[in-house]
């Protein structure tokens, strides 16, 4: 006996995919504005850090004392640097060029590194046991700290200023041209970048290899060792999903793949397919199973009964 479905049930089922499509479109538009970051996740991480810190008065006091000490240290550094004395900032902070030793650029560098160090202290003070929330906050804060570096601004970067003088501003014109081209590509219907002079297999990805496996998400390339003696354990490299596999095989002198085979390793590299709208439902589980696990099975079949050295490049390491 068949049971006739009510019209409300049918309408409910029709609305569900519509709602999912609408949510997907809204999230895609939001990602275009935020650079792919999920604001709610990072807002939640910030509040978690804040509330955790409010429960620890001793750490609050320690942060205040540290801020006072670092401010005083920066002012003392600035006062000495203003007299004309060579006051190089900490080279490990990324300001190793001699141009940063001169006032006022050494003061910019010192102020920034001191502030960045205090920010790291504050993050550690308000973070509980390591978890995803704390990791998100560290990531977001580090992006903010890096973006605030005086090296990123023309007026506060002596290296760029010296280069601008030496080239009579031509470097700025090239930078402006690059920025305009990037902006045009971001516009709806913007033109795609030119391929340039690089040809796969000729200018990049020149290490000899062959495709040994293919599914709907990946290809697996194998590179044979180029030595008489060979290591028994193969290497499986998982590049970032958003990059081509030859990011690790750019040129003979700039190639991890070539280095490995010249040292006697059997190397395998995953090549991810270019996704289309048909792949919109592909999720993390698919990237793990169809990506890394399928590739690992292939390596185990080709080189059986051996441990495999797994290498994750960039976000490919999350597999």
Q: What is the model's pLDDT at position 35?
A: 61
**Among 199, 217, 219, which Cα is nearest to 209's?**
219
Active-site residue, from 153, 314, 317, 318: 314
Region at 169 (left for phi over 0; alpha for psi -120 to 50; beta for the rest): left
Q: What is the model's pLDDT at position 173?
A: 93
* 290 class by beta-carbon count within 10 Å (0-12 exposed, 13-18 middle, 19+ buried): middle
Q: What is the model's pLDDT at position 208?
A: 87
Q: What is the model's pLDDT at position 188?
A: 66
Distance CA 156, CA 252 (A): 37
Q: What residue segments make up the domains of the chain, in order of their start? A: 39-156, 210-318
Q: What is the model's pLDDT at position 32?
A: 65
Q: Decide if 314 is catalytic.
A: yes
Q: What is the model's pLDDT at position 189?
A: 64
Rounded mean pLDDT for each run of 10 residues along the chain, 319 residues in total: 53 60 73 67 83 89 94 92 73 80 91 93 77 80 90 93 94 91 73 62 79 93 88 92 85 86 92 86 88 93 93 77
Q: What is the model's pLDDT at position 304?
A: 93
Q: What is the model's pLDDT at position 214?
A: 93
Class for the domain spanning 210-318 = alpha beta
Answer whether the bond into residue 104 is a cis peptide, omega within 30°: yes
**What is the pTM (predicted TM-score) of this model?**
0.58
């Amino acid at each position: 006996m068949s049971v006739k479905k009510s019209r409300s049930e049918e309408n409910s089922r029709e609305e569900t995919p519509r709602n999912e499509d609408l949510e997907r479109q809204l999230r895609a538009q939001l990602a275009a504005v935020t650079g792919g970051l999920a604001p709610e996740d990072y807002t939640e991480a910030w509040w978690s850090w804040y509330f955790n810190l409010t429960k620890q008065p001793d750490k609050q006091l320690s942060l205040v004392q540290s801020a006072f000490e670092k401010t005083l240290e920066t002012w003392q550094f600035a006062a000495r640097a203003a007299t004309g004395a060579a006051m190089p900032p900490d080279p490990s902070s990324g300001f190793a060029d001699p141009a940063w030793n001169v006032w006022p650029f050494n003061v910019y560098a010192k102020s920034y590194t001191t502030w960045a160090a205090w920010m790291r202290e504050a993050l550690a003070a308000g973070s509980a046991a390591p978890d995803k929330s704390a990791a998100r906050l560290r990531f977001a804060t580090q992006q903010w700290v890096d973006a605030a570096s005086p090296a990123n601004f023309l007026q506060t970067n002596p290296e760029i200023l010296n280069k601008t003088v030496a080239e009579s501003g031509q470097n700025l014109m090239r930078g402006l041209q690059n920025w305009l081209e990037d902006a045009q590509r971001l516009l709806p219907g913007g033109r795609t970048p030119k391929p340039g002079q690089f040809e796969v297999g000729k200018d990049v990805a020149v290490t000899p290899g062959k495709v040994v496996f293919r599914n709907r998400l990946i290809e697996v390339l194998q590179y044979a060792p180029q030595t008489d003696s060979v290591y028994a354990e193969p290497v499986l490299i998982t590049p970032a999903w958003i990059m081509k596999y030859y990011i690790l095989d750019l040129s003979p002198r700039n190639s991890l793949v070539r280095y490995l085979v010249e040292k006697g390793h059997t190397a395998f590299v995953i090549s991810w397919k270019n996704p289309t709208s048909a792949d919109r439902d592909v999720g993390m589980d698919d990237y793990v199973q169809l990506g890394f696990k399928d590739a690992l099975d292939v390596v185990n079949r080709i080189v059986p009964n051996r441990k495999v050295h797994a290498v994750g490049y960039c976000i490919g390491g999350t597999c």
